[in-house]
Chains A and B, each alone.
Chain A
Amino acid sequence: MLPLLNCPSINTAAAVKISTDFLTKYILPLLGIFAVLLIWTAVAGGVREEKTASGFTKKIKTGLIQDLPGPYETWVKTKKYIVQPFAKREELDQGILRFTWYSLIVVAKGYSIALIIGTPIGFMLGLSKVFTRMFDPIIQILRPVSPLAWMPLGVVLFMGAGKHANDLGALFTIAVCSMWPTVLNTAVGVRAVPQDYLNVAKVLKLSKWKTLWKVLVPATLPYMFTGYRLSLGIAWLVIVAVEMLTGRIGIGNFLWNEYNNGLYTSIILSILTIGFVGWALDRLMSLLESRFKSI
């Protein structure tokens, strides 16, 4: 009799559990988005038309922040960029994802350079005390420098490349700025390799090369990927600044142009797009990262 009695209550408990899961997983985030939209609408400006005595209609700006477009206005005015995300109407009038794609290509190049240079530097920092003593101060000084400061130097460095100077300068800036998390995390990872693993290598008398590839690199991988993930985030931050400065076509450049054109809705669209892409990249990297962490 008792088990029968218990059955329904277990089912209800399960049902309650599922619905709380559903609530925390989907409803709460939606509520959050809704709340932000609400506040946005409340503070956004609008235009009210008024007939003057002389019979003209006069447009009067209203709202708390008069020039800030509201959510609806943003949607209406930027729809053409979103519904045809890959369209190319003119050089400066393209779908939002097409602009994003241009930016992503540059980011991919600069980021690859950062990893290719940063990882070995990280290993050397982790392995050699001498190397750390020598270069750690320089790294600590260069690390906090803003991308805006690196950009002009980048262009100057590649002045000889003529019309490619801007592109190469952009790559340089992305690489230099996004390199540091990779360098530092790799170094920390190498230092954190358990002594036991190194003892195994010592007892077996593995060569330096084999110790590196068979023991150090696999043991450091989780840390390296944490660095890679942070680096990608920075690379994506830097591209916007770089495009604003150099004027090469991309999402950051689009944002800046539209600001100069007084089309503030596009600024909001750009910000949201940059945010979404950054989030997607981070998710992607953290998936990769967790794969290596599980080992």
Chain B
Amino acid sequence: MSFIEIKDASKGFGSPGNRTEVLRDINLTVERGEFVVIVGYSGSGKSTLINLLSGLVKPDAGTASIEGQVITEPGPDRGLVFQNYSLLPWLTVTENIALAVDEVFKDWSKEKRADHVAKYIAMVKLTPAANKLPKELSGGMRQRVSVARTLAIEPKVLLMDEPLSALDALTRAQLQDEIADIWLKNKTTVIWITNDPDEAILVADRVIPLLPTSPATLGESISVNIPRPRDRKLINHEPEFKRLRAHLITTLLDSKGKNKVKSSRKLSLPDILPEDLNNLHNMEFINRRGPKRRTDNQREEVEVLA
């Protein structure tokens, strides 16, 4: 029994007739303490995949489970770091984290909870900004608050949904290092979603490509056996890093377009026909009771390739 397991899960959205299958036959196992990164193109269903674990999305088929328990709803045992930080803008840094801590550790004393909050603010180096509102912080600082909020509830697994993709490259690099550091100290299980292959190899124990087939499937996982802590300046020259990176990028690029199911939909055109502007001056419109309708002639349908 693996710590986290997704078994034959599929997920699609939309009503019958206009349905898009997003994920198919997803199988994933993650062991306790592992740092797994899933890399994929934008819009290929990465967020849906991680939300199967967070419980915000329910699979159509198959199951997602943690410690053998099937995941049916969101819960604080799986800490989710959102792409857009999702801090409550009317609460300060401390209050945002305290909201989470107070809820999860209800039975602790007030002082203990306050200390706990302060500890995690210090961990992400935001103690001087503890009483600021999110709008007074930079993007990087906001995401640090979000990470602190999630770590503070001491989840069994940290789910990161493109946590750094809204940040500029330099801030991003810095936060990658910081999160990798924090992980080295805590060894929480992490499942991290990203669209950046470099980021993936830099932080992960294991990288899994999400192949942009339609619907998307998981590719073969790639183990990253580069010793930690990894130095981002040196790692660029490491042959193992270069090899993994080339392998990962090739896998992702090659699968693009391959195995793509061709689907077509019939679209009905709007019922009203365009005005015939050639007859503008013949006053015909005076005798007309309404716009010309396509149904009067014949209904046309156009096929569109997806």
How many A residues are at the interface, by size bracket?
10 to 19
Q: Let me know if B88 and A203 touch, CB within 8 A.
A: no
Interface of chain A: mostly helix, strand, loop or mixed:
helix
For residue B54, give the distance in angstroms from its CB to the closest CB of chain A: 7
Q: Let me know if A202 and B74 touch, CB within 8 A.
A: yes
The B-contacting residues of A in range 168-210, CB under 8 angstroms, are: 196-197, 199-200, 202-206, 210
Q: A196-B86, A295-B89, A295-B90 are in contact. Are A203 and B74 (CB under 8 A)?
A: yes
Q: Which of A200, A205, A206, A218 contacts B86 (CB 8 A)?
A: A200
Q: A196-B86, A295-B89 are in contact. Are A204 and B54 (CB under 8 A)?
A: no
For residue B183, give the distance in angstroms from its CB to the closest CB of chain A: 20
* A215 contacts the other chain (CB 8 A): yes
* B173 contacts the other chain (CB 8 A): no
Q: Let me know if B103 and A205 touch, CB within 8 A.
A: yes
For residue B48, give the distance in angstroms from its CB to the closest CB of chain A: 14
For residue A276, give the distance in angstroms from its CB to the closest CB of chain B: 34
Q: Name the A residues within 8 Å of B103 (CB-CB).
A: 204-206, 210
Q: Let me know if A218 and B90 touch, CB within 8 A.
A: yes
Cα distance, A138 to B55, chains bound together (Å) = 38
For residue B60, give the distance in angstroms from its CB to the closest CB of chain A: 20
Q: A196-B82, A196-B86, A214-B99 are in contact. Are A205 and B56 (CB under 8 A)?
A: no
Cα distance, A203 to B56, chains bound together (Å) = 8
Interface of chain B: mostly helix, strand, loop or mixed:
loop
Q: A204-B153, A205-B76 are in contact. Are A199 and B86 (CB under 8 A)?
A: yes
Q: Let me know if A203 and B89 touch, CB within 8 A.
A: no
Q: Name the B residues within 8 Å of A197 (CB-CB).
A: 86, 88
Q: Name the A residues within 8 Å of B88 (CB-CB).
A: 197, 200, 214-215, 218-219
Q: Which of B75, B80, B82, B89 contacts A205 (CB 8 A)?
A: B75
Instruction: Name the CB-closest residue of B to A218.
Output: B90
For residue B255, give the distance in angstroms from its CB to the closest CB of chain A: 30
Cα distance, A206 to B74, chains bound together (Å) = 11
Q: Name the A residues within 8 Å of B104 (CB-CB).
A: 204
Which of B79, B82, B103 has most A Cβ within 10 Å? B103
For residue A109, give the distance in angstroms from its CB to the closest CB of chain B: 30
For residue A24, give the distance in angstroms from its CB to the closest CB of chain B: 31
| Interface bits B77-96 vs A (CB < 8 Å: 1, else 0) | 01110101010111000000
For residue B173, give the distance in angstroms from its CB to the closest CB of chain A: 25
For residue B147, give the distance in angstroms from its CB to the closest CB of chain A: 14
Q: Name the B residues within 8 Å of A203 (CB-CB).
A: 54, 56, 74-76, 78-80
Which of A197, A200, A214, A218 has most B Cβ within 10 Å? A200
Q: Name the B residues within 8 Å of A205 (CB-CB).
A: 74-76, 103
Cα distance, A204 to B154, chains bound together (Å) = 12
Instruction: Name the CB-closest residue of B to A202.
Output: B74
Cα distance, A221 to B54, chains bound together (Å) = 29
Q: Name the A residues within 8 Å of B82 (CB-CB).
A: 196, 199-200
| Interface bits B101-144 vs A (CB < 8 Å: 1, else 0) | 00110000000000000000000000000000101000000000
* B167 contacts the other chain (CB 8 A): no
Q: Name the B residues within 8 Å of A204 (CB-CB).
A: 76, 99-100, 103-104, 153
Instruction: Name the CB-closest residue of B to A221.
Output: B90
Q: Name the A residues within 8 Å of B86 (CB-CB).
A: 196-197, 199-200
Q: Name the B residues within 8 Å of A219 (CB-CB).
A: 88, 90
Q: Name the A residues within 8 Å of B89 (CB-CB).
A: 295
For residue B67, give the distance in angstroms from its CB to the closest CB of chain A: 17
Which of A196, A197, A221 has most B Cβ within 10 Å? A196
| Interface bits B211-242 vs A (CB < 8 Å: 1, else 0) | 00000000000000000000000000000000
For residue A186, give the distance in angstroms from its CB to the closest CB of chain B: 17
Which A-B residue pairs are the 7 nearest by beta carbons? A196-B86, A202-B74, A218-B90, A203-B74, A295-B90, A204-B103, A203-B80
Q: A197-B86, A199-B80, A203-B56 are in contact. List 12 more A-B contacts (CB 8 A).
A: A196-B82, A199-B82, A200-B82, A202-B73, A202-B74, A203-B79, A204-B153, A205-B75, A214-B88, A218-B90, A219-B88, A295-B135
- Can you report 15 residue pairs joining A to B where beta carbons are below 8 Å apart? A196-B82, A196-B84, A197-B88, A202-B73, A202-B74, A203-B54, A203-B80, A204-B76, A204-B153, A205-B74, A205-B76, A206-B103, A218-B90, A219-B88, A295-B133
